Chains A and B, each alone.
Chain A
C-alpha cells in the first residue's frame, strides 16, 4: 500500500487516513487544525512550508490551573486595564510557517492584540484583551492549533529578565575607539615633518588618549580583574600577560605624549582590546532554545488538583504545588506527574518511574503504599495524600547536593592557561635580561626596551587561537546535533578517559520497539480477529502491536468492548478473544511460565478462555551501539551504570566489548557517588545519561552529556545535549575534539613565531609604533584565519565521513 503523508504534520498516516477537503490527514487533531486555519484565512500557513504542522495532543483539563488567578499572575508579564501580556515557551516552533501563524493569531481570535515570535528562543509574546479572552482560553487555543506552550514549575519562579549584554557594549566601545584612533594616528605613520602636522599632532594625540580611556578602563577591565584573581590564586593565567601588556601600552603611550617623546601606541592598544573581545564574542555561541541549567522544576507541573472536603462534599481545586501541605489530598490523572512523595489512598496506581530511577517497567502500587515524586501515573485517576513537600521529596532532595552549586569552569585549567604559565615566565625573563643588557650598554634606552618587550609579547594571538578554534568547533558540533554549553567542554572531551553510560533511555531507545511473541501459535482466524480488534483500539500498546501485524485479511469483530486499563474483549462468530494484561486474561499462572512473564510490558491473549501466549515489548538498543562501544573501548574505559535491575546483563555482555563494567540498581545518589569515586582515582569522566536520575552524575562528571530524542523537551542540567539519532557518532565527536586541540597547538606555534619577530625589534630597541600597529593585527588575523580554515576542513571531513551512513 502506498503510504500517505499527513498534509498538516507530514507524518506517515499509519493507522487511518482522513480525507478532508482533498487532503490527507493522519488524525482528527491535524484535520481540526487545518479546519481552524482554513476558516480563519490562514491557509497560507501550508504554502509557506510543506507539512509545517504539529499534531495537537492535549487533554482539555490540562490547563485548568490557569483559572487560578494567583498562578496566572505569576505567569503574566504585564496586566493592566484589561490588557495582559504573556511570554510563552512553545517547543514546537520550528519553521517559518510557525512564525507566520503565531504572529497572525489575531485572525483566529480578534481579542489577541498582537503577538511576536522569538524564533531562536522558541517563545511567543502575546498581548490580549483579558476581559474578552482569558489566559486559559488563549492557551487552549494555542494547544488546539498544535502549539501547546510548556508551562512547568520553572515558569513560576521569578524571571531573570536581566540579559547580560555587557560584552556587546564593550565590543562596541572598543571598536568605536579603535576606528577613531586609527584615523587620528594615520598622519603620523609617515613621519613627515610637515608644518600643519606639527601644529595639529598634539591635539590628535590627546584625542587618541581620551578615546583610549574607556578602552582601558571599561572594555579591558575584565582582563585586569581576571589577572588579579589569577595571581591571587597563585596562577599565571593568560590574562596576566595581557593585562600587563595593556597597562604598559597605556602608561608608556601616556608618558610619551605627555613629554612629547612620540605618538604612543594607542592604535595598538585599542586594536588589541578589540580583537580580544571579538574572540570572546565569537566563543560565546549560545543555543538560546536549549537550556543547560534545568533541574526538576522544568519537569514538574506548576499546579495539582487538590481535593477539599467541605461539608461532606468533595471539591476539586487547582493549587500551586508549593502550597500543598503534608496531609493534603491530591488527584492525579492519567499521564500526570506525581510532584511530591505521597501515599496512595484510592485507585490503581501504575507508575512509570523511568525518568526518575531508570527502571524500564511501570510498577503497580496498591492503596497504602508510598509513591515517590517524579513518577508518572499511567491508567486511571488516583487519589493520594502528600507526606512531604515538593522541595524535600526523595528525588528533589538530590538537588541539595553541593555539586549543583559548583561551577565547573573554575575547576578546569584550559590549554591556553597552561601555555601562559611558561610563556609569561619566558617573556618576563627576556624583558629583564634585555633591560639589564641595555642598562650597561645605553641606559637611556633601557626603559624603552623593557616596555617594548612587554608590549610586543602581549599574547593577543595566543589568546585568540582557542576561542576561534573552539568557537568554530562548537558550531560544527551543533550542526551535527551535539549542542555544547560552552567551548570549554570541547577541551575537556579530548581529555576523557572513562565514559559512563546510563542504560534506560540512553543506550536503549525510549520507545518500546521490539516486540516478540511467546506461547502457542495463533491460527489464521485468531490472527485476523486480533488485527481487526487492535485496529479499533486506541491504547498505545494496541497501536504498536497493530503496526507489526499482517494486515491482509482482517476480520472485524462483531462485538467489541474496551475495558480501560485492562484490555479488549472481542468476538466474531464462534471465536472469543481476550486481549490485555495477564490478570485480565485470567491466566496469570500460564503467563508466568513464559520468560516474558508478568513483569514485562506485554499483551496477553486468550482465545475462547484458552490461554494462548503473549506479545512482549522490549526496549530496543540503539543502532550502532556495538560498533560505538568497540571503537570507544580502544582508548577509554566504558562503564554501564543503570538504575534498572540486572535482567539485561547477559544481553548487554553479548552486545558490548569484553571489559565493559556494568553496575545495576543504582539510585540517583549512588550514581553521583560512583562518578566521584572514579574522579578520586584521577579519572576524567564523561557521563552520558538522559533522565533526572542521572542529574547528579551529569553535574559531577567532567563532561555530562544528555541524550534526547527530541531536543525541545526536557533534559537535565548538563554540559551538552546530544540528539539521540546521533548516538552512534559519539566516537567521532571524541576524535574531532582531540583534533581541535591539535589545531590550537599549531596556532600557538604560529603566534609564537610572530612574537619572536616582534621580540627581535623590541630587544634591539627599534620598536616603532607603526611596526607594533602592523604586527599585532597581522598576527591576530593570521591566527584567526588559520584556526578557522583548519576547523572548517575538519568539519568538511566529518561531513563526508558521516554521509554514507545517513
Chain B
C-alpha cells in the first residue's frame, strides 16, 4: 500500500498543474472578455465572398 504515497503525490501534482494553469489564464486576461470569443469562433474566413463580377457591373450601371 505504499503506492498510496506515490498516487497522492501524482494527484497533488496534477491538481496543482491545473490550479496554476487557471491562475495563469486569469492573469493573462483570458476571462476579461468571455463573450466575444463565443461569437468569433463561428466566423469562417472562407465565407467572405469575392465581389462577383456580375454585381459590380450592375453597380456601375446604377450609379
Instruction: Mark A residues whose CB is within 8 Å of B.
Output: 19-22, 38-39, 41-44, 47, 96, 99-100, 103-104, 107, 116-121, 163, 165, 168-169, 172, 176, 179-180, 196, 199-200, 203, 207
* A165-B36 in contact given A41-B51, A43-B51, A44-B48 (Cβ < 8 Å): no
CB distance from A82 to the nearest CB of B (A): 26
Known: A19-B62, A120-B33, A180-B15. A41 touches B43 (CB 8 A): no
Residue of A nearest to B44 (CB): A44
Q: Does chain A have a CB within 8 A of B6?
A: no
- Complex Cα distance, B59 from A203, in Å, reads 79
Instruction: Assess the A38–B51 pair: CB atoms within 8 A.
Output: yes
A163 in contact with B32 (CB, 8 Å): yes
Q: Is the CB of B15 within 8 A of A176?
A: yes
User: With A120-B33, A120-B36, A172-B23 given, is the CB distance from A200 to B50 under 8 Å?
Assistant: no
Expressed in whole angstroms, the Cα–Cα distance for A222 and B39 within the complex equals 36
* Nearest CB in chain B: distance from A160 CB, A: 14
0 or 1 for each of B43-58: is its CB under 8 Å from A? (1 = yes): 1000111110001001
Check B22–A172 contact: CB distance below 8 A. Answer: yes
User: Known contacts A44-B47, A99-B40; is A165 also within 8 Å of B62 by CB?
Assistant: no
Q: Name B13-32 residues within 8 Å CB distance of A.
A: 15, 19, 22-23, 26-27, 29, 31-32
Select which of A22, A99, A100, A200 is within 8 A of B4 by beta carbon.
Answer: A200
B26 touches which of A43, A100, A169, A207 (Cβ 8 Å): A169
Interchain CB contact under 8 A, A119 and B32: no
Contact between B39 and A168 (Cβ–Cβ < 8 Å)?
A: no
Q: Are B31 and A168 in contact (CB under 8 A)?
A: yes
What residues of chain B lie closer than 8 Å to A180, measured between beta carbons?
12, 15
A209 to chain B, nearest CB (A): 14
Interface centre among B1, B12, B29, B39 (most CB of A within 10 A): B39
Q: 24 A-B contacts, Cβ less than 8 Å apart?
A: A19-B62, A41-B48, A41-B49, A41-B50, A43-B51, A44-B49, A99-B40, A100-B43, A103-B43, A104-B48, A118-B32, A118-B36, A119-B33, A119-B39, A120-B33, A120-B34, A163-B32, A169-B26, A172-B23, A176-B19, A176-B22, A180-B15, A199-B1, A207-B8
Tell me which residues across on chain A come within 8 A of B55, comparing CB atoms.
21, 38
- Residues in A neighbouring B34, C-beta threshold 8 A: 120
**Residue in B closest to A200 when the chains form the complex, CB atoms:** B4
Closest to B42 in A: A96
Minimum CB–CB distance for A560 against chain B, Å: 25
Residue of A nearest to B32 (CB): A163
**Complex Cα spacing A118 to B38, Å:** 11
- Given the interface pairs A165-B27, A172-B19, the reply to whether A20 lies near B62 with Cβ below 8 Å is yes
B58: nearest residue on chain A (CB-CB)?
A21
Contacting residue for B63 out of A20, A118, A120, A179, CB 8 A: A20
Residues of B within 8 A of A19 (CB): 62
Distance, CA A119 to CA B37, complexed state (A): 9
Contact B39 A99 (CB under 8 A): yes
Given the complex of chains A and B, what is the CA–CA distance between A312 and B51 in angstroms?
Answer: 54
How long is the Cα–Cα vector from A676 to B19 in the complex, in angstroms?
50
Q: A120 vs B19: C-alpha distance in the bound complex, in angstroms?
A: 27
Tell me whether A119 and B35 are in contact (CB under 8 A): yes
User: Who on chain B is nearest to A39 by CB?
Assistant: B51
- Nearest CB of B to A185, in Å: 14
- How far, in Å, is A103 (CB) from chain B's closest CB? 7
- B39 nearest in chain A by CB position: A96
**A403→B58 CA distance, assembly (Å):** 62
Chain B nearest CB from A85 CB (Å) reads: 15
Measured CB to CB, the closest approach of chain B to A555, in angstroms, equals: 29
Instruction: Please state if A103 and B19 are interface contacts (CB–CB under 8 Å).
Output: no
CA distance A39 to B23 in the complex (A): 45
Residues of B within 8 A of A21 (CB): 55, 58-59, 62
Give the distance in Å from the alpha carbon of A169 to the alpha carbon of B48 in the complex: 41
B5–chain A nearest beta-carbon distance, Å: 8
Distance (whole angstroms) from the CB of A210 to the closest CB of chain B: 10
Determine the chain A residues whose CB is within 8 A of the CB of B33 once the complex forms.
Answer: 118-121
- Flag if B19 contacts A43 (CB, 8 Å): no
A residues near B58, Cβ cutoff 8 Å:
21-22
Q: A121: which B residues are within 8 A, CB to CB?
A: 33
How many whole Å from B58's CB to the nearest CB in chain A? 6
Additional pairs, 18, CB under 8 Å, beyond known A96-B39, A103-B40, A120-B35: A21-B58, A38-B55, A41-B48, A41-B49, A43-B51, A44-B47, A44-B49, A99-B39, A100-B43, A118-B36, A120-B33, A163-B32, A165-B26, A169-B23, A176-B19, A196-B1, A196-B4, A207-B12
Nearest-neighbor residue (CB-CB) of B36 within chain A: A119
CA distance A43 to B32 in the complex (A): 30
* Measured CA separation A499–B9 after assembly (Å): 63
Interfacial chain A residues near B39, Cβ < 8 Å: 96, 99, 119
Q: Is the CB of B62 within 8 A of A168?
A: no
Residues of A within 8 A of B40 (CB): 99, 103
Q: Which residues of A contact B23 (CB under 8 A)?
A: 169, 172
Give bound CA distance, A38 to B15, whole Å: 51
Query: What chain B residues lie within 8 Å of A196 (beta carbons)?
Result: 1, 4
| Cβ of A241 to closest chain B Cβ, rounded Å | 30
A120 contacts across to B, CB distance below 8 A: 33-36
Q: Which residues of chain A have C-beta atoms less than 8 A from B19's C-beta?
A: 172, 176
Q: Which chain A positions have C-beta within 8 A of B15?
A: 176, 179-180
User: What residues of chain A lie closer than 8 Å to B48, measured between beta carbons?
Assistant: 41-42, 44, 104, 107
A99-B27 in contact (CB<8A) = no
A165 to chain B, nearest CB (A): 6
Across the interface, which residues of B come within 8 angstroms of A176, CB to CB? 15, 19, 22
**Hey, which chain A residues are within 8 Å of B50, CB to CB?**
41
Closest residue on chain A to residue B50 by CB atoms: A41
Give bound CA distance, A416 to B47, whole Å: 54
Q: Chain A contacts of B26 at CB under 8 A?
A: 165, 168-169, 172
Residue of B nearest to A168 (CB): B26
Q: Which residues of B contact A200 (CB under 8 A)?
A: 4
**A751 to B2 alpha-carbon distance, docked (Å):** 45
Contact partner of B59 among A20, A163, A168, CB < 8 A? A20
The CA-CA distance from A581 to B8 in the complex, in Å, is: 87
Shortest Cβ-Cβ A-B pairs, 5 listed: A119-B36, A118-B33, A21-B59, A96-B39, A176-B19
Q: Which residues of A contact B4 (CB under 8 A)?
A: 196, 200
Q: Considering only CB atoms, which chain B residue lies closest to A123 in the complex? A: B33
How far, in angstroms, from A679 to B49 measured CA to CA in the complex? 63
B57 to chain A minimum Cβ distance, whole angstroms, is: 10
Question: Which residues of B are found within 8 Å of A47, using beta-carbon distances?
Answer: 47
Shortest A520–chain B CB gap in Å is: 45
Measured between C-beta atoms, what is the minimum distance from B56 to chain A in Å?
A: 8
- How far, in whole Å, are A108 and B58 apart by their CA atoms in the complex? 22
Give the shortest distance, in Å, between B10 (CB) and chain A (any CB): 13
Contacts of A44 in B (CB 8 A): 47-49
A342 → chain B, closest Cβ, in Å? Answer: 42
CA of A652 to CA of B48, assembled, Å: 56
CB distance from B29 to the nearest CB of A (A): 8
CA distance A99 to B36 in the complex (A): 8
Minimal beta-carbon separation of B53 from chain A (angstroms): 13
Alpha-carbon distance between A163 and B32 when the two chains are bound, in angstroms: 9
